[in-house]
Amino acid sequence: MADDSRTENSGAFGSYAAIGDSFTEGVGDPGPDGGFVGWADRFAVLLADRIPEHSFRYANLAVRGRLLDQIVEEQVPRARELAPDLVTFCAGGNDIIRPGSDPDDVAERFERAVADLAGSVGTVMVTTGFDTRDVPVLRHLRGRIATYTAHVRAIADRYDCPVLDLWSLKSVQDRRAWDADRLHLSPEGHTRVALRAAQVLGLEVPADPDQPWPPLPPRGALEVRRDDIQWAREHLVPWIGRRLRGESSGDHVEAKRPDLLPL
C-alpha cells in the first residue's frame, strides 16, 4: 500500500495548491464572507504554522460540481503553472455517483492526470472516497466507490503519492460530520479531514481527527422518517432536478483563490 506518512517532509512545504470539486472548495463549511472555508483552507493554515510567518502561499482552484475531465482541463494546467511544493488532488467523486459510470475508466483518466502533475509539482497528495454505507441514496454506490478507492491507492503506489484515506476515517461516518444536505461535510467534518491530511504528512496536530463524538440521544423511527422526508424535499429533489436539466451547482462559479497568495 502507498505510504500515507511523509515525516521527512514535515514543515518543508512553502506553497500549496488544492484542486477538486465541492469537497475541496469547502461546501458545507460557510465562512464569514459568504464563501466557504473547508478542509483545504484549514489544512493550509496547519501547513503555514510550520514555517516563518507570511512566507507560506496557498491557492484553492476547486469548483463545486466539477467532473474529473473538467478538473483536468481547467485546474490541472493551472496547478502545473503555479508549480507549488504540494498539490492535493481529489477528483472523480461526481463521476462515480452518476448512473452508469465505470470506476475503472474514471481511474484511468485520474491516473493520467496524476502522471501529468507528478512531473510538474513537488508532491501530489491523492484522496480516496468516503465509505457511504450509512449515507442515504449513496449507500447503494458503496461497491463502486470502493473499487475507485482501490484504484486511487494503487495509483498512489505507482507515483509515490501520500494518500488522504477518507474511507478509513471513521469519525466522518457520524451524521454530525455532514451538512444538512448529506452530500457535503459540516464544519466539524471539514476540520477532521484537515487534521487527517496534516497527519498524513507527519505533522503534529492539535486534536485527534478520529476522536469519538459525544453520545447522541436515541432517535425514534418516526423522527428519523420525518428527517428523511424533509431532506428529500429540500435537498434530494433539487439535486435530481439539476441532473435532469443538465445543470451543475458550479455553473458560473469560479475558483475562490486562483493564485498562490500568502495566508
How far is Cα of residue 61 from the mean position of the Cα atoms in its chain? Answer: 12
Angle CA 225–38–98, to nearest 5: 55
- What's the predicted TM-score (pTM) here? 0.89
Q: Report pLDDT digits (tens) over 90-123.
A: 999 999 988 889 999 999 999 999 999 998 999 9
- Among 10-14, 139-143, 165-169, 213-217, name the one with the lowest average pLDDT: 10-14
In single-letter form, the type of residue at position 94 comes to N
Where does residue 122 rank: exposed (0-12), middle (13-18), buried (19+ CB within 10 A)? middle
Residue with cell 463524538: 213
Side by side, the strands of the sheet bearing 15-19 are 163-164, 123-127, 86-89, 15-19, 57-60, 257-262
Mean pLDDT of 202-216: 93
| Arithmetic mean of pLDDT over the chain | 89
What CA–CA distance (Å, rounded) separates 100 from 103?
A: 10
Residue with cell 506553497: 15
Phi (first) and psi of residue 29, to 5 degrees: -125, 75
